[in-house]
Amino acid sequence: MCLASIVMPESIVPSIIHFGSAKPEVTTSSPAPDRLVAGHPQHTAHNFFGDTTDQFFAGVWESTTGKWRVRYTENEFCHIKAGVVRIDSVSGESWTFETGDSFVIPSGFEGTWDVIEPVRKLYVIFAPALP
């Protein structure tokens, strides 16, 4: 048999995920009561992609106004599509991000998220494997 005649099944070849036409997994949530600082923020995540290792995710996240404490165990790239957020670290640093801004939150970051204007962001998350 000639190797050139072997055809790989199409199911093995991954497809491109187009956020504009794919049907994402949608989840809604709110901060745990012990993390809530102000308001009653409601979150909606449209997870368009998750790899087979459960370590890499990409999608769109939205939140209404409010403030809550965060502790990151993953690395997250964010691009703000709409709205304004302020992120404060436990060490006293503060950043304000608005429409068009991009940033990375590294694993180990602790602080607060304060959604000042309802926000919509693109996210890409990499969660390091647990030891």
Residue 38 belongs to a domain with what CATH number? 2.60.120.10
- Say yes or no to pLDDT of 3 above 90: no
Domain assignment present for 104: yes
Residue 56 in domain: yes
d(C-alpha 78, C-alpha 34), whole Å: 25
In a domain, 4, yes or no: no
What is the domain extent for residue 79? 25-126
In a domain, 3, yes or no: no
Residue 6 pLDDT class (50, 70, 90 cuts): low
| pLDDT tens sequence across 50-92 | 999 999 999 999 999 999 999 999 999 999 999 999 999 999 9
Q: Nearest CA to 71 among 43, 23, 119, 31?
A: 31
- Is 53 part of any domain? yes
Q: Is residue 16 part of a domain?
A: no
Residues paired with residue 113 on neighbouring β-strands, in sequence order: 68, 87
User: Total structural domains in the chain?
Assistant: 1
The closest of 108, 106, 114, 28 to 69, measured between CA atoms, is: 114
Q: Which region among 5-9, 26-30, 83-87 has the lowest average model confidence (pLDDT)?
A: 5-9
19 in a domain, yes or no? no
pTM: 0.86
Q: Is 1 contained in some domain? A: no
